[in-house]
Structure 1
Amino acid sequence: MQITASTVSLTVDDVAASQRFFTTHLGYAERAAADGFASLAREDAAMDIVLLARGTEVLPADQRDQHARGLILAFTTTGIEDEEKRLRAEGVEVTMPLCEEPWGERLFQVTDPNGVIVQFVEWAEHGSGSS
């Protein structure tokens, strides 16, 4: 098997609100959209995002009423302090301020309008590993 791309599909109540959040603040662009659906991508190595309206009939019946919960969408990045400042300046609420874990992971979190947690990670100079 060869994986050629990665996509996360999120079931949300308001597709347009999440779509605006990801395109306005996180550099995603719309690839395709229809009523209750949006496909978003970036030019770099970030995973693609598909947003589906909760209750949509394209989902199997047992998945239609689920909501994206208990999920952290994490992006490893560089310049994490600048990213946190930029997002705050754009009016995005930082729901977990920048901190450093004992193992060298530096991170902060924001939450989109549908409650999707987005985490930004950068490895501290003395840390090792990857996420």
Structure 2
Amino acid sequence: MSDNKNNDEQWRDKLTPDQFAICRLKATEPPFTGKYYDCKTPGIYRCACCGNALFDSDTKYDSGSGWPSFWDVLTADSVAEHADNSHGMRRVEVTCKACGAHLGHVFTDGPRPTGLRYCINSAALDLQERS
């Protein structure tokens, strides 16, 4: 189920209600509630919908925002970015490049070397721990 042609019924069958709301309907989990916001386990963070590799724990940091934050993506093919003018503000939405799942947003107030803060919903991620 890694293509974006899956309909809502197929996604509902595959995902939890929270994952569906966040990944397919662009909801946001409350800050400091997601399972990965304070996670220090090394590994690769994958898309909860399709398994696409998105972020490496080596780029994860505590932004104080309450969501998992990364200063870079795993590869240029991991995510797509889109203008998001909802909620009366300008932001950049981050989606999985493989299946189109909503992941979160990217901001320009992150640490070096990129200066970026990929602020991602835990429900959109699955951590593949390093062995």
| Shorter-chain TM band | under 0.3
Which of the pair has more CA radius of gyration?
1
More strand by share: 1
Higher relative contact order (CA 8 A, sep 6+): 2
